[in-house]
Amino acid sequence: MKQNTLLAVILAAAPAFAASCESLASLALPDTTITSAQAVAAGAFTLPARPGGKGDASQAFKDLPAFCRVEATLKPSSDSEIKVEVWLPSSGWNGKFQSVGNGGWAGVISYAALGEGIRRGYATASTDTGHTGANGQFALGHPEKLIDFAYRSEHEMTVKGKALTEAFYGNAPKHSYWNGCSTGGRQGLKEATRFPNDFDGIIAGAPANPRTHLAVQAIWLAHATLKDPASYIPKEKYPLIHKAVLDACDAMDGVKDGVLDDPTRCRFDPKVLECKGADGPACLTTPQVEAARKIYSPAKNPRTGEEIFPGFVPGTELGWALKTGGPEPELNAFDHLKYVVFRDPHWDWRTFDFDKDVALADQIDNGTVNVNEANLKPFLGHGKLLMYHGFADPNVTPLTTIKYYKSVVDTLGGTKKTMDSMRLFMAPGMGHCRGGDGPDTFDVVSAMEQWVEKGKAPEQLIATHKTNGVADRTRPLCPYPQVARYKGSGSTDDAANFTCKAP
């Protein structure tokens, strides 16, 4: 009797899957070749070997649960070679599916994000977007591969990932989510506009969008700081400018803490640092002052005065090296213009015309990579969009995300009509997706789950800042345009002492 009871307990605890992991290798899906389907024991995953190298048994993956790892190649066009991986928890599946995004030019599977997904119990999918290598060279002469990078790989991965999930567990996912930052944020917006039925919830962090204008801004900054050696601002002077910004604006939000709560309110002119005499480490030369002004200013069409892309906000200075450190423009942008717009590996960025060449870039893109559509009603009619962006982002200016958010709000009839389905959270002091002097760690996945599955919209996100792995500050992030305001008593490092208010 005891043995029968024990057997019943064991059988009840065992996963009742519709298929074995290995049997997924024979699953027939359109335009798909499943190259591997293997069970991975808990803590046994190692990163695949790079060409000429060995696999990496990183400590970061030692805590992964057991899972079924499926590798596949998708060929929706004659020139497609899209690699995808779908990881399926061997036990504890939460009944949901998550696609994860990429950074930069992608070209790799996002293994860390896959790991985060299955730790939460998600069936999780990632793609290399159809090429290998973290540059734009693949796009030269391969328009189908550019389409794969722009949107097709993400959609195809999601469709095939859901099919694999259902085949393995015997049930379709109850809910499906997108989770990405930077390029992953742009991918999320592209999914919302082009494939509105793919997901119930989309998390889009720091969207690198519109990509062609982001590339143009990088060339604008290169013209401002690198074209003339006299305008170059040495990295050693970035802290000088940053300190001057904080001296001018840090106390504006009522708390002097090394973070600008809303840098759009900061009116800082780098001319206050202009050298009175010879150049030195504690001042900026006149050409350097003008260069700094251009970094803060939007890129504009010199003929019409029309804004091409917003400038960087005060508080980003410590990260300026990414765009202005030289000797060439930032690589992602440079590659986009070289290989996608001008289709010339030897193109000289110094020749860029901020009038006719911007129009050329827009004409060539024609909505392929860029997300300009503001009518998100097809997606927001059933799904939720949670956007976030660091206010101290030195890679993708946060003003472009605010601009896009406002365009959607205006198109759909105002904040009251969109707050139930779309919210933007700005993170003071946070860099690009993570990092910076402000609190930069917050749980967007749980917030999205509560929103989609319980109907509870996020009123705030509690963000944490850590130093050497130890939490030393928490703050609430508020739905834009609200900002966190100090209540007037208690520690300014404790989120409980702040409240979200209209500016």
What residues are annotated to the active site? 182, 393, 432
How far is the C-alpha of 427 from the C-alpha of 302, rounded, in Å? 33
With a CB cutoff of 8 Å and minimum separation 6, the contacts of 195 are 151, 155, 158
Rg (CA), the chain: 24
How far is the C-alpha of 273 from the C-alpha of 244, rounded, in Å? 8
State the sign of the Cα–Cα–Cα–Cα dihedral 226, 228, 229, 230.
negative
Half-sphere exposure of 289 (CA within 13 A, CB side): 16
3-state secondary structure of 456: coil
Q: Which two tokens stand for residue 218?
A: 């990088």
Q: Which two tokens stand for residue 32?
A: 């798909």
Q: Which helix (H) or strand (E) holds 144?
A: helix 143-147
Q: Which two tokens stand for residue 288?
A: 């350097």
Question: Is residue 148 within 8 Å of 129, Cβ to Cβ?
Answer: yes
- Type of residue numbered 265: R
3-state secondary structure of 436: strand
Residues 196, 200, 201, 202: what is their CA dihedral angle, to the nearest 10 degrees?
A: -30
How far is the C-alpha of 323 from the C-alpha of 216, rounded, in Å? 12
Of 291, 276, 371, 278, give the one whose Cα is nearest residue 323.
Answer: 291
